[in-house]
Amino acid sequence: MLNLSEILNEVTSTLPDHEDRALLLRNYPDPVAKFFRYHLPDGIPDHTFAKIPMKGIIKLVNWANFRSTLYPQPFKGFLWQAKVKMGILPIEGYDYFLKDQGAMKWTTFGVIPVMKAEGEDVSRSAEGRARMEALFAPHLLIHQAIRWEVISENEITATWKIQREEQPVHLIIGNDGSLKEVNIQRWGNPGGVKEFGYHTFGVQVEAEMKYKGTVIPAKGNAGWWFGSDQYKDGEFFRFEVG
């Protein structure tokens, strides 16, 4: 497991940018181009990392309030660092995927372990999550290593891998290019199923906002078994940016 300072250094470092993003964008078909026009209203920003403040509720045993910071890096991974109030207990920790490994580490009062998870299955699941979190840095998704495909006027997919996982990310968009839903077949064992496997994981985007030159999800909910009746049990995350 990597230490927090090493992870922070990696996800906040600038990446060498050799992409001609403007040329790539001109060659994207509609509605892929429409999605980017909506989410990059002032053109393509120069910065190559993002830092997104969030708050909301997360379902652990029960729903608990959190405040967090998300650092998405589409070709490196992500870091989600948070403080959660579980009853009277203050819990702090982080989830990440970086350098071909994913893990989570959570403590109370800064020292008492609450949860720690790592290993092959955790890493595979975290890599899938990393590609979902990349939607909070839409300008970095204009890249020759990402294969964009059009399913319909209101559904597009993006396929790329950070290390190994390569399930397509499905984006449901409005007629104006706004983002409505995102889903992926993500490796995991939701609900404590005995064996890990691929399950539908998704985010319903309830609102978007302009943030540091890009339009990103501002409010939504996320969980397993997205799009099915089971989602009422699989939903575990509700967020707002800010």
CA distance 21 to 17: 9
pLDDT of residue 158: 98
pTM across the whole model? 0.93
Q: What is the pLDDT of residue 115?
A: 86
Do the domain assignments include residue 23?
Answer: no
Q: Please tell me the predicted confidence (pLDDT) of residue 112.
A: 86
Q: Could you tell me the residue range of the domain that residue 235 belongs to?
A: 34-241
The token pair that represents 69 in the structure block: 């910071």
Q: Which of 56, 54, 117, 115 is nearest to 85 (CA)?
A: 56
- pLDDT given at position 61: 81
For the chain, how many structural domains are there in total?
1
Residue 214 lies in a domain: yes
What was the pLDDT predicted at 89? 85
- Return the pLDDT at 126: 97
Q: Are 69 and 81 in contact (CB under 8 A)?
A: yes
**Cβ–Cβ under 8 Å, residues 7 and 126:** no
Question: How high is the pLDDT of residue 47?
Answer: 83
Q: Per-10-residue mean pLDDT for the chain, 242 residues long?
A: 91 78 93 97 89 96 94 96 90 95 91 89 97 96 96 98 95 98 97 91 98 96 97 97 95
Is the backbone peptide bond immediately before 31 cis, with ω within 30 degrees of 0?
Answer: yes
DSSP 133-148: HGGGSGGGG--TTSEE
Q: How far apart are CA 144 and CA 72, in angstroms?
A: 18
Sequential DSSP letters for 168-207: PEEEEE-TTS-EEEEEEEEEE-GGG-SS-EEEEEEEEEEE
For residue 200, the domain's CATH number is 2.50.20
